[in-house]
């Protein structure tokens, strides 16, 4: 029997998994350390006395069932999620527990909605894909900016990253996603995903101070094009990335290095969201430090809300659909600065 506070973390020894383990401990949960590599698990368990490590493989459903035994929820931090998401969702459904992942892979996120929506709803459980910086935070901000609107003409999500030192997992997920779309690009327009070979536009985006105007790559399409339209009637959803960070990612610059006691890197971010309906624009902005580190409070806050019944729906649902978005963002005030101005034009 578990403690009733045991939350399984698959991929616990990865860069993001370690932040999630630390955040769970801070919030009074007991992380179960799950992963495929026994040596890496034991090394992590030695550094985290008192925590249990359980080896499990996505190719072996029985090992996943054993690993989830006694857990009240599972957070999947092991990417590429094209490989790990479906087996872990299946295992969570067998165990009758909620599933949360940090996947930033558009096609894998689409698959989670497509393959598990009915079964998760029938089971009365919650499956939340992309509950992280990409996909999750943008969706919470769009939902917050929408306010009482249920539909809008356009949503724009601009990522103002000071730099981007990608992890091995990020790069591997990018390769898998690229292969899945045969090297083509993807955007969300006319109410659907569209694959194309057009060059990506470079334009200027005016972030709020202190970032100010920045050169950004347009149609730098992130998981928000899956999460936002999953519950909001917005036919045009566009994401943008500061050109400097996009160049860092292409160059696969070195992995993030810790600069503070929490293990965060020096990277800063602003996520600037604009929704437009007719002539009216609404905006919501969040700023903070380290896109990997912030994914941990996002995923753990999600689990905490699910376990305490603070949800709006069951089945497969994105952050904005399943949670009270403004309340969720306010709960992260020690990690995020939030600014939601009034309508900017009416």
Ligand X SMILES: NC(=O)c1ccc[n+]([C@@H]2O[C@H](COP(=O)([O-])OP(=O)(O)OC[C@H]3O[C@@H](n4cnc5c(N)ncnc54)[C@H](OP(=O)(O)O)[C@@H]3O)[C@@H](O)[C@H]2O)c1
Residue with the CB atom nearest ligand X in the bound state: 79
**Chain centroid offset of residue 289 CA:** 15
Q: Are 332 and 137 in contact (CB under 8 A)?
A: no
Q: How far is the CB of 289 from ligand X (least distance, A)?
A: 14
When asked if residue 87 is in the footprint of ligand X (CB under 6 A), the reply is: no
* Residue 204, helix vs strand vs coil: strand
Work out which of 6, 7, 9, 14 binds ligand X, going by CB under 6 A. Answer: 14
Binding mask 15-34 for ligand X (x = CB under 6 A): xxx-----------------
- Provide the minimum distance between the beta carbon of 236 and ligand X in the complex, in angstroms, as a whole number: 22
- What does the block give as tokens for 24? 């769970």
Count the site residues for ligand X by CB under 6 A: 34
Indicate the residue among 13 and 188 with the shorter CB distance to ligand X. 13
**H helix runs in 48-182, sequence order:** 61-68, 81-95, 106-123, 138-146, 168-180
Determine, following the binding rule CB under 6 A, whether residue 132 of this chain makes contact with ligand X.
yes
Output phi, psi for 297, to 5 deg. -60, -30
CB of 131 to ligand X, least distance (A): 8
Binding residue (CB under 6 A) for ligand X from 102, 245, 317, 322: 102
Q: Is 104 in the site for ligand X (CB under 6 A)?
A: yes
- Which residues are bridge partners to 277 per DSSP? 280
d(CA 88, CA 311): 21
Contact 298, 318 (CB under 8 A): no
CA 95, CA 311: separation in Å to the nearest integer? 20
Q: Which of residues 37-76 bind ligand X (CB under 6 A)?
A: 37, 40, 58
Among 112, 143, 173, 177, binds ligand X (CB under 6 A): 173
Residue spans of alpha helices (H) in 147-267: 168-180, 224-227, 243-250
By the criterion CB under 6 A, which residues form the site for ligand X?
Answer: 11, 13-17, 35-37, 40, 58, 77-81, 83-84, 102, 104, 130, 132-135, 167-170, 173, 223, 291-292, 295
């Amino acid at each position: 029997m578990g403690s009733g506070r045991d939350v399984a973390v698959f991929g616990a020894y990865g860069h993001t998994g370690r932040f999630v383990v630390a955040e769970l401990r801070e919030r009074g949960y007991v992380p179960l350390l799950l992963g495929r590599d026994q040596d890496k698990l034991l090394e992590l368990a030695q550094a985290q006395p008192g925590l249990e490590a359980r080896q499990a493989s996505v190719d072996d459903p029985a090992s996943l069932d054993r690993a989830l035994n006694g857990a009240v929820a599972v957070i999947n931090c092991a990417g590429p999620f094209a490989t790990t998401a479906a087996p872990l969702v299946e295992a969570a459904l067998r165990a009758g527990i909620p599933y949360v992942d940090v996947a930033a892979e558009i096609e894998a996120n689409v698959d989670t909605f497509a393959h598990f929506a009915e079964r998760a709803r029938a089971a009365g459980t919650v499956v939340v894909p992309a509950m992280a910086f990409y996909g999750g935070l943008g969706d919470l901000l769009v939902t917050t900016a929408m306010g009482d609107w249920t539909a809008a003409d356009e949503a724009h999500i601009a990522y103002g990253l000071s730099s981007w030192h990608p992890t091995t997992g990020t790069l591997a997920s990018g390769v898998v996603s690229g292969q899945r779309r045969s090297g083509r690009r993807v955007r969300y327009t006319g109410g659907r995903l569209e694959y194309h070979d057009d060059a990506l536009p470079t334009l200027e985006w005016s972030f709020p101070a202190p970032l100010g105007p920045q050169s950004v790559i347009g149609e730098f399409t992130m998981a928000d094009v899956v999460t936002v339209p999953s519950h909001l009637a917005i036919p045009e959803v566009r994401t943008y990335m500061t050109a400097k960070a996009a160049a860092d990612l292409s160059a696969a610059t070195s992995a993030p290095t810790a600069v503070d006691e929490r293990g965060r890197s020096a990277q800063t971010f602003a996520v600037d969201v604009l929704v437009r309906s007719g002539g009216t624009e609404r905006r919501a902005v969040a700023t903070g430090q380290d896109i990997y580190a912030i994914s941990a409070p996002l995923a753990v806050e999600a689990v905490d809300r699910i376990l305490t019944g603070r949800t709006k729906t069951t089945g497969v649902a994105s952050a904005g659909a399943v949670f009270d978005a403004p309340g969720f963002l306010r709960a992260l005030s020690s990690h995020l600065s939030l600014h939601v101005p009034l309508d900017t034009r009416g």
